[in-house]
Structure 1
């Protein structure tokens, strides 16, 4: 009997195709296990849920959907990112108590290595496993060192601890009281409450787009070594398309965009036009090509140096 791995996601109709790509890539990357996806449905159309379910079941995976409880995020600002950003916080409210652990993964990601390794990681008594946030700015909002501030795009959650200590309620209470001064309300609130209670995971499990800046400009002060950053840059387990560089957009120069597009082409959402393919964007795209060759040249230089060491 294969191992069942529980994976959570939260999205609305605008992101359901991208959640589908994440799930498709996770199944492909994790042979020998049954993936059970738990989707917090933030106003996704029934037809889209049916499309997603059909794809997953055809690949041998399971899908359970949950309707959000609006009272859980009452009083929280939703204008910038919508209600979906808060749903990862409230996963313990939705997931059955028979499930004591779950991997949460953002929808703007691509899974390239088996989740079995992540699923079996020992959290060493911590409630959560996460990867350090590579940008040195967000941590300033809650007054902690950058090495003590994690990115919430990939989380391994000990649901027993979350439920027993009511951590989700602590996080939402913090968000309500401090939202005005936080750059990323949900992520900053998670970090404020979970200080000293999270295990730093290998960088490869959440390779953020800022890695290409950090390895050149901001490495000092980051807890990950240059070697580990180079390894995560070249062979990531999960690519997280943070910031504005989304692989479903024309105006995107991320090195793993082509990998993403290949997986997208295998899903029911294949053939979707670029959402930003207007004339002005195409013009910007052409002019930017020349500017971005330095970015890729630098990445290749680092790759050559790293491979030369091995």
Structure 2
């Protein structure tokens, strides 16, 4: 029997993103004191110290937390981008229906590069019995080749998988995991890993959320498709979730990073103590990546480099 007073929330992480996972959780707890949470962490390579830190954070806010070791063999054959591939943790969410207990019918999935800014009760209150997922439209249009690969009809939208309200009962009833894994392992030009698998399997079937539930750190207003002026107003003044989709990420400590102070606020409140050598090494690599990206952008703007 599931206690309906609890909100089930899932995140996927590894050592590299453990700190950011803590920030996401802290921001969720701080802005939702009136709710009780059960946190589900999917991982395959999380050191003991990181586990203890995340568990202590959850206990501090009276939340339950469960950490699952994912069977990576299920993901053998999954395809990755050649340039900037993600870790296997990107595909963990396609296994949610078989990993989480069968009596959990609905879960909120959050990427670890997210800060929750407000109450999420309205999101959990949605009835999505006839939908596999509820999500926000991706702010950037996909190209024709990408659309054709996913068989998404022209005029239909493509969603971002960083914030997903998932109907686990639907996934189990229709064996969605098998379909998601089949596409994930299909030989193809990989654009967006698990996000493409989810969009392929659930095209035209997903519930569209207002943009305030997944506000990009870089998307300009012109890229957002608002249905109503009130949606636009809420996106500007009452966004509930900030998603650091694009670089630079706030933890790079680069001057001018949008919404960096919000990340820093919850990092401090989380009490995170571990300074990962892996994170320091990755930060150096990412600094170089950001510099190269900005330099190329400059060359494009002055006509010295073509697309």
TM-score by length of 1: 0.81
2-structure distance, mates of 1:239, 1:210: 10
**Does residue 262 of the first structure (1) align with residue 265 of the second (2)?**
yes
Q: Which runs of 5+ in 1 are unaligned?
A: 292-310
Length, aligned pairs only: 279
1-structure distance, mates of 2:64, 2:240: 22
Report the alpha carbon displacement of residue 271 of structure 1 after superposing the two structures with TM.
Answer: 8.9
1:40-119 correspondence to structure 2 within 5 Å: 40-78=42-80, 80-119=85-124
Contact 1:42 1:83 in 2 (8 A): no
Contact 2:108 2:165 in 1 (8 A): yes
Q: Which runs of 5+ in 2 are unaligned?
A: 299-307
1:59–1:255 distance in 2 versus 1, CA, 3 Å: same
Contact 1:37 1:64 in 2 (8 A): yes
Contact 1:207 1:233 in 2 (8 A): no
1-structure distance, mates of 2:255, 2:161: 22
1-structure distance, mates of 2:233, 2:142: 22
2:182 alignment partner, SS class: helix
* C-alpha distance after superposition, 1:13-59 (max 9, x if no partner): 00011001101110111121111100002301011101110111011
Superposition CA RMSD, Å: 2.8
Contact 1:106 1:154 in 2 (8 A): yes
Contact 2:217 2:258 in 1 (8 A): no
| Correspondent of 1:136 among 138, 141, 149 | 141
1:29–1:52 distance in 2 versus 1, CA, 3 Å: same
Aligned partner of 1:121 in structure 2 is: 126
1:1-310 correspondence to structure 2 within 5 Å: 3-78=5-80, 80-123=85-128, 125-137=130-142, 140-143=145-148, 144=152, 145=154, 147-178=156-187, 180-212=188-220, 215-216=221-222, 218=223, 222=225, 224=227, 228-251=231-254, 253-269=256-272, 275=280, 276=283
1:236 alignment partner, SS class: coil
1:141 alignment partner, SS class: helix
Contact 1:245 1:252 in 2 (8 A): no
